[in-house]
Amino acid sequence: MASIHLDNISVDILVFDASSRSLKNRVLEAATGGQIRPREGNGKLSVRAIDGLTLDLPHGSRLGLVGHNGAGKSTILRVIAGIYEPTGGSMRVEGDVAAMFDIGFGMDLDASGWENIILRGMLLGYTRKEIEARSEEIGALTGLGDFLDMPMRTYSAGMSTRLAFAVSTSITPEILLVDEGIGAGDAAFLEQARQRLNRFIGDAGILVMASHSEDLIKEWCDTGLWMEHGKMRGYGPIDEVLEAYTRSRD
Ligand SMILES: Nc1ncnc2c1ncn2[C@@H]1O[C@H](COP(=O)(O)OP(=O)(O)OP(=O)(O)O)[C@@H](O)[C@H]1O
């Protein structure tokens, strides 16, 4: 059984060079979201992207993360995925995690679509034999036809998404993390993706999804977590959380 337990988690993201232009960008970015904290004496700044978050998600949870830009939604997903390590608090995540963001991660642009199906599959935990046995079926799902023989650098963004999506949804994860923006593609693909995602999500033990689309969140989540400046502002049945969040923006 999958479970996620976050106990008073904080995530500080260090911004290294206080004089650089990118710092200014980060500060501007952070102005709507996390809290900027100067580090003593060394000219370094850190952004508190998550501030003391406690969350218990048992098997069967369908959690939707809402909040304005920079509120901390993606950071929560990255912490659960093990990409960011919390700087405070403790956590326990039980179950295989599949992250439906950075879905192009692990792709080799010089390799063909077929080769990338194998690469990406192995990254997701398939053995070479297992992914080879399924690659034909996955290749058909991409709808890319002869393009699968071409190097991936010849693909458009939508084509790459099709490929990554087809491989990613061919596993059955215990914990599924979805960040919005996976919908790059044409209408027919989106419809196919929707059906596939429905099954994929239905089979997962726990779903955590971040989105600015209320419709998407309502369709797939029963519980909502409203983040603001890295802190929990609201938590509960999805309709109530969305209503409170919407009211706060009026
Ligand atoms: N790599 C990073 N370097 C510096 N700051 C970061 C980094 N990643 C996130 N942050 C900061 O952490 C805070 C939380 O960001 P996060 O991406 O989690 O927000 P979000 O709610 O997902 O926003 P959005 O809805 O815009 O995607 C923001 O203030 C952001 O500037």
Centre of ligand 1 from the C-alpha of residue 120, in Å: 26
Q: Is 13 in the pocket of ligand 1 (CB under 6 A)?
A: yes
86 in a structural domain: yes
Non-local (6+) Cβ contacts of 33 within 8 A are: 47, 49, 68, 69, 70, 71, 72, 229, 230
CATH of the domain at 8: 3.40.50.300
Residues 87-91 have a mean pLDDT of 96
194 in a structural domain: no
Residue-wise pLDDT tens digits, 73-84: 999 999 998 889
Q: Is 34 in the pocket of ligand 1 (CB under 6 A)?
A: yes
27 in a structural domain: yes
Centre of ligand 1 from the C-alpha of residue 147, in Å: 35
How many domains is the chain built from?
1
84 in a structural domain: yes
pLDDT of res. 34: 54
Centre of ligand 1 from the C-alpha of residue 30, in Å: 7
Q: Is 73 in the pocket of ligand 1 (CB under 6 A)?
A: yes
Least confident of 129-133, 198-202, 223-227: 198-202
245 in a structural domain: yes
Residue-wise pLDDT tens digits, 177-216: 888 755 444 566 667 677 777 777 778 889 999 988 888 8
Q: Is 42 in the pocket of ligand 1 (CB under 6 A)?
A: no
User: Range of 26's domain?
Assistant: 3-96+210-249
205 in a structural domain: no
pTM here is 0.78
118 in a structural domain: no
